[in-house]
Amino acid sequence: SAGAPADDQHTAKSARAQHALHRAFSKEAARQVPTSQLDIYNQDADDAYATTTSGADPRCPVGSIVHKMPGFEDICAWRASPATSWGRGEALCQQEGGHMASFKNKEELFFLQSLLSFTHQFWVGFRKMDSRTWYFTDGTNPSFAKSVWAPGQPDDHAGKESCAEMVSWGGTGQTDRMNDRNCADKLPYMCI
């Protein structure tokens, strides 16, 4: 409203943006959301913006959200299917020419989190290669990712946790941190 404080206006815009992005990636609305639905996100982003592709950008599947940020490489993001195992999610992403979502820096991590904010946990493209080495499936350097682990993680509980999920640890002060998890569990995911 016109008389609301700036913080309230920003919160309302942010909520509308999250709703538009949730609709864009929900199973029922996948690839059917008109570009105008995402314009809310475009107007509300402080440092970045997103657009949908219509097939004109050969780097991205039709219906993708494209993350553009000055000084950074563009990211094409799309949700390939509902919750699935880590391996199946990565295979489906590869079929579309991508990989399960990974992040090289804080900005890319925040973008990914904003697209998947409707769930409190989701797969990321980070997997254990051997007993101590983790890597991103797209081959990028995991140095930034190491700072995103939740306290005490990775712990390879019961020797069965070789894949990474992003979790909102509500109430602990450690929101949006990575946790290792059994790769056969089913979670939402995003392709880039």
Just give the CATH number of 79-192. 3.10.100.10
Q: How far from 170 is each of 12, 174, 183, CA to CA, in Å?
A: 21, 7, 23
Q: In this predicted structure, what is the pLDDT of residue 187?
A: 93
For the ranges 41-55, 104-118, 169-183, the lowest mean pLDDT is seen at 41-55
**Rounded to whole angstroms, how far apart are CA atoms 129 and 34?**
40
For the ranges 61-65, 84-88, 127-131, the lowest mean pLDDT is seen at 61-65
Q: CB pairs under 8 A, 24+ apart, for 109-112? A: 109/144, 109/148, 109/176, 111/48, 111/50, 111/67, 111/69, 111/75, 111/77, 112/77, 112/166, 112/190
Give the pLDDT mean for 47-76.
59
Q: What is the mean pLDDT of the chain?
A: 69
Q: In this predicted structure, what is the pLDDT of residue 170?
A: 59
So where are the chain's domains? 1-78, 79-192
* Residue 173 reports pLDDT greater than 50: no
Structure tokens at 172: 């602990």
Place of tokens 């029922």: 28
Per-residue pLDDT of 1-17, as tens digits, reads 344 444 444 344 444 44
Identify the residue with better confidence: 169 or 92: 92
For the ranges 42-46, 73-77, 94-98, 180-184, the lowest mean pLDDT is seen at 42-46
Q: In this predicted structure, what is the pLDDT of residue 50?
A: 53
Identify the residue with better confidence: 106 or 68: 106
* Residue 121 reports pLDDT greater than 70: yes
Percent of the chain at pLDDT above 90? Answer: 19
* Residue 22 reports pLDDT greater than 60: no
Q: Which pTM value belongs to this model?
A: 0.65
Q: Which of 33, 15, 14 is nearest to 23 (CA)?
A: 33
Q: How far from 37 is each of 16, 21, 23, 116, CA to CA, in Å?
A: 10, 8, 9, 16
